[in-house]
Amino acid sequence: MLITHLSPVASSLFSLLAIASLLAAFVMLGSRWIMSYLYAFTAQSWMIALLSAVVGYYGHYPELYFIAILTALFRGLLLPYLLLRIIRRLHVARELQAVLQPSSSLVIGAFLVVFAFIVARHISASLGLLSTIAVLALTVMLSMKLIGFLMLAIRHEAISQILGLLVLENGIFLGSQILVPGMPLLIELVILFDLLVVVASFGVLVRYLMVHVGSTSSRELKRLVG
Amino acid sequence: MRGCLLLILTFSPVLAIIGSLVARRPRVAEHLNLAASIVVALAALPLPFLSLGGPHLYWDGYVLLDPPGAWVLLCVAIVYLLSSIYAVGYMRLLDEEPRLYVFYALFAGFALTMLVAPLMNNVGVFWITVELTTLVSTFLVGFERGAESTEAAWKYIIIVSAGISLALLGTILFYWAGSLVLGPSYDMTWSVLGDAAARMNPTLLILAFLLVLVGYGTKAGLAPMHTWLPDAHSEGPAPVSAMLSGALLNTAMLGIVRFLAITDRARLGPIPRAALVILGIFSLFIAVLFIVRQEGVKRLMAYSSVEHMGIMALGFGFGGPLGVAAALYHMLNHSLNKPLMFFGAGNVMRSFGTKEIPKIGGVLQRLPVTGVLWLAGAVAITGAPPFGLFLSEVTILRAGMSGANTWAVFVMAVLLVVIFVGFLNHFRHMMFTPQIPDPVEPDRLSFWCIAPMWLAIVPLLVFGLWWPQALWHYFGAVDHALGGAT
């Protein structure tokens, strides 16, 4: 298995990329400007693409180079472009009525990372992988998941919610590159493609929201209750 | 033979999609869709019995025909047929003629994704097909393009996508747990995971199963992840509501059941089943709260779906041959009954021009046939004899008595009684309150709006009076395919 016998260089490269992606998630959490969400997401996607390539190099999985190129193309270029088009159409520059101030959401995000670390430690301890990179990979995977959910819960703009969902997916993708690099190619390809369809659907729906609800803030979505 | 039927099953909706998009005419599209649904129903009818005798693999092992999958397939095909018949009548009333061909293309596409999902042998591909059902059905929910239906579509896609991403995380953790045993690369099929389950790390498996349970549970409408369901089910057109409730929820439930079978073989102790039972009881509880004071007709039906998914979760959670058999029987009965309820609701809403229960009265005088069938359906869905759901619910209660979660049986019985009273109280109001005089003569409901209600109620009555012996054998085979005695 790859993660049990890694060279120190590889191990620190993996850690660097994983932690940098987590940092990008915190940038999203700590900002109100939608464009900075988009930049942070793009940076995160490129880091994941780089991680795929590095894992492919050190783990001798040539198909991961292919995945890296596709990740960079899909998540790093095409998705940000689609999102940019949606943002331009919306004329919404920033999150206006966040439930939590960015500062307090950063604190909650930190607590979520601690929680993710405790879970990851527990799991790795039971697998006997405590001194490997598995702890870090699981921590980053779970905390990006939790931060994505936090973003979904406290942000109201449609575009922030889409980005929250994409952070969820990025977290899974990042963790799976380190933990299960041998996952069949087909599945990774289809998941990438699936993401594209998801964002395209969101684009259409956002347009409907503009036309029929007159707003893209989920605060205005309160007709259906009970 | 089997392979041929599977090809027919998947290609007839594809042909309907292509035909609708090419012809761009509403009448052509609705008849193509209807024809496809009839072919699908005919092809799916023998499948459960052809699936006996071991799992059958096709197309390099990516397609799997096994008893549990074939049963869900049959339920999907039945709901697709009923909804397609109803859609012919109902969609003509909506004044959306120019866009109707898009509706039918999406409708057939939605059916296609649900017919493909139970056949997927690869756990990752199964996840993708379930995700695709969301994407297609979102646009069906938002088809009427009002503020409410757009809101419902948005909530639906956000909540379900977020939830189902947890299922992906769980699936990856399952793969990881497997890769520690089987080596870094292997085919992640249900049977490979099941065979290796006993050697996998139990802590990791429990975490993975709980993630999968929450993920597919969101899609299956189990409380507290059900929040999208009442909105999506009440705001889509009636045939779409029927498909969401009668077919989609079962497809997601199949995912939970298959993962539960894997954890069973790993012998993880009581946690996985207890988690499923707790979600089931909580769904019933939430359904009680919202059914008793409900004011929207279709929201009432939607919360009833939460209730019935809870009951199915309890059946599978109690487990054992009896629990599995009863839950599967319940699935079929619910797939017959819930379309009936939504069709009745659709007819009444069209005729009264409102979806609020307090404004509806005297349904029996105004719409005698719909009224009687709908009332019978209401009696059936609350689990009263002589209909099929009575038998399946009583059997689930019996199955629970012998398991580890006996407390749940008593809670379930009490909650079912409250639902019975609360649900039928709304029907008493709608059926028997004197009608407010209305000078406008209602539109006559076409044959297409009534016929599927008959088609649903008759088998429901038959299954209530007679549980065919062949089905017992079949349910035994399903239980065996899921890992047998627990």
Instruction: Render pLDDT for A56-110 as a digit per residue (tens, 0 to 9).
Output: 998 888 888 988 998 899 888 988 998 898 888 877 777 766 678 888 999 999 9
pLDDT of residue B433: 85
User: Closest approach of chain A CAs to the CA of B18, in angstroms?
Assistant: 19
pLDDT number for residue B485: 44
Cα–Cα nearest to B106, from A201, A83, A207:
A201
- Pick A187's closest partner by Cβ from B125, B176, B202: B125
Q: How far apart are CA B83 and CA B244, in angstroms?
A: 10
b vs e for A56-94, b when ≥16 Cβ sit within 10 Å of the residue's Cβ? Answer: bebbebebbebbbebbbebbbeebbebbeebbeebebee
Cβ separation A184–B187 shorter than 8 A: yes
pLDDT at B22 > cutoff 50: yes
Torsion angles phi and psi, residue B404, rounded to 5: -85, -15
Contact status, residue B167 vs residue B216, Cβ threshold 8 Å: yes
What are the CA-CA distances from residue B432 to residues B256, B273, B324, B380, B429 (Å)? 41, 43, 39, 18, 6
End-to-end CA distance of chain A: 51
- For the ranges A94-98, A155-159, B115-119, B160-164, the lowest mean pLDDT is seen at A94-98
Rounded CA separation B302/B342 (Å): 9
The pLDDT tens digits for B429-486 are: 999 888 766 656 666 778 899 999 999 999 999 999 988 888 988 998 898 888 754 4
- Inspect the interface and report whether the beta carbons of A191 and B139 lie closer than 8 Å: no
- pLDDT above 90 covers a percentage of chain B that reads 71
Nearest chain A residue to B136 by CA: give it.
A201
> Quick one: pLDDT at residue B440?
61
In chain B, whose CA is at the least distance from the CA of A205? B154
Which residue blocks in B1-96 are alpha helix, DSSP H?
Answer: 2-23, 26-44, 47-50, 67-91
Burial class (CB in 10 A: 0-12, 13-18, 19+), B477: buried
Distance CA B334, CA B307 (A): 11
Which residues touch B299 (CB under 8 Å, ≥6 apart)? A226, B230, B233, B234, B290
Q: Which of B144, B161, B292, B301 to mutate to test the interface with A (most CBs of A within 10 A)?
A: B161
> Does A175 sit within 8 Å of B151, measured CB to CB?
no
Average pLDDT of the residues in B276-305: 95
Instruction: Tell me: pLDDT of B131 over 80.
Output: yes
The H or E element containing residue B58 is strand B56-58
pLDDT at residue B436, rounded to an integer: 67
Distance CA(B409)–CA(B406), nearest Å, equals 5
- DSSP letters, chain A, are -GGGS--HHHHHHHHHHHHHHHHHHHHHHT--BHHHHHHHHHHHHHHHHHHHHHHHHHHT-THHHHHHHHHIIIIIIIHHHHHHHHHHHHT--B--S-SS-HHHHHHHHHHHHHHHHHHHHHHHHHHT-TTSTHHHHHHHHHHHHHHHHHHHHH--BHHHHHHHHHHHHHHHHHHHHHH-TTS-HHHHHHHHHHHHHHHHHHHHHHHHIIIIIS--BGGG--S---
Q: Helix, strand or coil for residue B296?
A: strand
Question: In the structure encoding, which two tokens stand for residue A198, read together?
Answer: 């998801």
Are B381 and B338 within 8 A, CB to CB? yes
Distance set, CA B37 to CA A59, B16, B76, B107 (Å): 49, 9, 10, 10
Q: What angle do CA B83, B44, B375 make, to 5 degrees?
A: 35
DSSP string over B324-393: HHHHHHHHHHHHHHHHHHHHHHHHHHHHHS--BGGG---HHHHSHHHHHHHHHHHHHHTT-TTSHHHHHH
**Across-strand partners of B65?**
B56
Residues B231-267 as b or e (16 or more Cβ within 10 Å = b)? bbbbbbbbbbbbbbbbbbbbbbbbbbbbbbbbbbbbe
The pLDDT tens digits for B177-200 are 999 888 888 888 999 999 999 999
Tell me if B281 sits within 8 A of B407, measured CB to CB.
no
- Mind listing the pLDDT tens digit for each residue in B331-377? 999 999 999 999 999 999 988 888 899 988 888 888 889 999 999 99
Q: How far apart are CA B114 and CA B250, in angstroms?
A: 9
Residue A132 predicted with pLDDT over 70: yes
Chain A residue nearest residue B185, CA to CA: A182
| Residue of A171, A221, A226 lying closest to B299 (CB–CB) | A226
Interatomic CA distance for residues A209 and A213, integer angstroms = 5
- Contact list, B135 vs chain A (CB under 8 Å): 197-198, 201
* Cβ-Cβ contacts under 8 Å, B228 against chain A: none
Per the structure block, which two tokens stand in for A152?
């979904």
d(CA B388, CA B461): 6
For residue B30, pLDDT beyond 60: yes
Q: In the 8-state DSSP scheme, what is residue B248? A: I
Instruction: Judge whether residue A1 has pLDDT over 70.
Output: no
Out of A180, A202, A209, closest to residue B179 by CB? A180
Residues of B (289-328) whose Cβ lies below 8 Å from A: 290, 293-296, 299
Q: How far, in Å, CA of B463 to CA of B398, rounded? A: 18
Tens digit of pLDDT for each residue in A134-156?
A: 899 999 999 999 999 999 988 88
Q: How confident is the model at residue B250, as a pLDDT?
A: 95
Q: How far apart are CA B125 and CA B209, in angstroms?
A: 17
Lowest mean pLDDT among A195-199, A222-226, B152-156: A222-226
Q: Return the closest-CA partner of residue B362 out of B302, B451, B442.
A: B442
pLDDT band at B172 (very low <50, low <70, confident <90, very high): very high
Identify the weakest region by mean pLDDT among A131-135, A184-188, B316-320, B471-475.
Answer: A184-188
B186-205 in b/e form (b: 16+ CB < 10 A) is: bebbbbbbbebbeebbbbbb
State the amino acid at position B91 in one-letter form.
M
Chain A neighbors of B172, CB-CB under 8 A: 172, 175-176, 179-180, 183
Mean pLDDT of all residues in B304-315: 96
Highest mean pLDDT among B265-269, B271-275, B351-355: B271-275
Chain A contact for B235, CB < 8 A? yes
Tell me how many residue pairs between chain A and chain B have CB atoms under 8 A apart. 138
Sequence-separated (6 or more) residues with CB below 8 Å from residue B256: B212, B213, B216, B217, B220, B276, B313, B316
At B243, give phi and psi (nearest 5°).
-65, -45
The residue count for chain A? 226
Tell me the three state secondary structure of residue B59: coil
CA–CA distances in Å: residue A144 to residues A27, B74, B135, B170: 12, 39, 24, 15
Distance separating alpha carbons of residues B198 and B266, to the nearest angstrom = 4
Establish if B168 touches chain A: CB-CB under 8 angstroms: yes
Say how many C-beta atoms besides its own lie within 10 A of residue B90's C-beta: 24
Q: Which residues numbered 254-293 in B keep a CB inside 8 Å of some CB on A?
A: 290, 293
Q: What is the average pLDDT score of chain A?
A: 87
Q: How many Å apart are CA B326 and CA B362, to the nearest integer?
A: 36
Task: Give the integer Cα–Cα distance in Å for A10 and A25.
Answer: 23
**Considering chain B, what is the average pLDDT of its residues?**
91
Token pair belonging to B225: 């992840």
Contact A123, B203 (CB under 8 A): yes
**ipTM score assigned to the predicted complex:** 0.93
